[in-house]
Amino acid sequence: MILSHDHQFIFIKTRKTAGTSVEMALTGHCGPLDIVTPIAPEDERNRAALGLAPKNRIITGPYKAGSEIPEGVDFGKYSNSSKALSQFQNHSPAPEIKKQIGDLLWDRYFKFTIERNPWDSQVSRYFYQKHMNPNFTMDFGTFLQRNHVSLNWGTYTINDKVVVDEVILYEKLTEGLAAIKDKIGIDISQSLPRAKSNTGRKKRDYRELYNAEQRQLVAKGFDKVIDTFGYTF
């Protein structure tokens, strides 16, 4: 997740949608007061090699940035407590972000995210789990039985309503990023690093992994995503 005061945008990061690559590309354009959350250790090392790092994700006191932040904006009522007033995570969802930053910033800043074909993303998620855990031996069918509900829908919706200004489709990522360049003041469409690409997934059509029952399981669990964006198997 990135909140840029310099460019007045909020990037809400979903799962298995090239979000880390987008986040890494955006980080280099962020100012000293922008909020950049940590990513996976392997990717954080790659980001550090570029001289970049997460920043400002935990706020424990008055967060002021002069003219960079609209007058009247703060991150809650301050106290003498050492407890963080605001703490942003890699995949902080829209409801939590809005609660943390307040209506003024939320309404003013351009908000965008990325979504992906659910049948494809579930295959990607499965192979990522296998890559990250050498002891992961679950077959694909069992994995789907245990993980057949969208993790992303609640990230960019509130009460089942899409609340971001733009949902870029993963299948048209380059075009989608180019289309918003004037809104965020940055064009990263041709400069995305490859993050989390070495997960052991062979280049094959995701449809080959599904039987009819598994196909319907995903269709039911991701029905809102499918209906909203017109995805088909």
Mean pLDDT of the chain: 87
Give percent of the chain with pLDDT exceeding 90.
64
Question: Scanning the structure block, which residue is given the tokens 């980080």?
Answer: 27
> For residue 80, is pLDDT > 70?
no
b vs e for 84-94, b when ≥16 Cβ sit within 10 Å of the residue's Cβ?
A: ebbebebbbbb
Give the pLDDT of residue 50: 85
Q: Which amino acid is at 217?
A: L
Cα distance between residue 8 and residue 69, in whole Å: 9
Region of residue 200 (left: phi > 0; alpha: psi -120 to 50; beta: else): left
Give the pLDDT of residue 162: 99
Q: Which amino acid is at 225?
A: V
Categorize the per-residue pLDDT at 200 as very low, low, confident or very high, splitting at 50, 70 and 90: low
What confidence tens digit (pLDDT) does each residue in 3-22 have? 999 999 999 999 999 999 99
Nearest-10 crossing angle of helices 118-132, 212-221: 100
What confidence tens digit (pLDDT) does each residue in 114-169 have? 999 999 999 999 999 998 898 999 999 999 999 988 889 999 999 999 999 999 99
Cα distance between residue 199 and residue 87, in whole Å: 30
Higher pLDDT among residues 189 and 195, named by residue: 189
Q: Nearest to residue 131, comparing CAs of 193, 195, 201?
A: 201
Higher pLDDT among residues 107 and 84, named by residue: 107
The average pLDDT across 78-82 equals: 35
Domain boundaries, the chain: 2-116+152-196, 117-150+202-233
- Residue 45: which H helix or E strand, with range? helix 41-49
Terminal Cα-to-Cα distance of the chain (whole angstroms): 29
> For residue 209, is pLDDT > 70?
yes
Strand-pair partners of 9:
4, 110
HSE-CB of 115 using CA atoms within 13 angstroms: 24
CB atoms within 10 A of CB 16: 23
